[in-house]
Amino acid sequence: MATPHNLPLLLIVEDSDTDYAMTMRSLRDSSIQRDIVRCVHGEDALDYLFGRGEYAGQPPRHPAVILLDLNLPGTNGREVLREVKQDPLLKMIPVIVFSTSSSPTDIETSYQHGANSYIVKPISFTLFAHAMKTFDDYWLQVVTLPHR
C-alpha cells in the first residue's frame, strides 16, 4: 500500500470553504488515491512551493498538479501563476486555473503567464462535480506527468 509521500500530490489553492468542500466531495468518488494539500492564500501557496515561512526546513514536496483559484485575498492567483511559471524547478508543474471569472482578459492573461488549462467554476453542484471529475480523469489519470 502506498504511503502519502508516494501518492500524486494535488495542491489546491482555494480561499472559499464552500468551493473547497465541493471540490473534495467531487474528488472523493475517484478511484485514484492522491495526497491533497490546501493553501487558502496565495502567499501560503508560494511559501509551500518555495519552502519558506512555516514550510521552511521541511523536505520539499512539489505537487503533480496545482489547482489554482485566481481571486485570492492578498497575493492573488495571477501572481502565484506568474511566480510558479518563472521558477526553473516549478515551471513544469501543470497549473490549472479554476476560477469563477469568465472574463476574456483573465483567461487570456492566465494562458499568457503559463496556465496549462482554465476552467470556469460552474454554479450548479452537478456541473461542478462533472468539471472536477473531468479534471481528475485527465490530469491525474490520463496525462503522464514529470516524475517529482
What tens digit of pLDDT does each residue of 114-135 get? 999 999 999 999 999 899 989 9
Between residues 148 and 136, the one the model is more confident about: 136
Average pLDDT of span 18-33: 83
Q: Which residue has the cell 490520463?
A: 142
- Is the overall model pTM greater than 0.85, yes or no? yes
The predicted structure's pLDDT at residue 32:
66
Predicted confidence (pLDDT) at residue 3 exceeds the cutoff of 50: no
Q: Which of 124, 23, 111, 14 is nearest to 69 (CA)?
A: 14
Domain ranges for the chain: 4-142
What tens digit of pLDDT does each residue of 92-120 get? 999 999 999 999 999 999 999 999 999 99
- State the CB neighbour count (10 A cutoff) for residue 89: 12
> Quick one: cell of 130?
462533472
Burial label for 85, CB within 10 Å (0-12, 13-18, 19+), is middle
- CATH assignment of 4-142? 3.40.50.2300
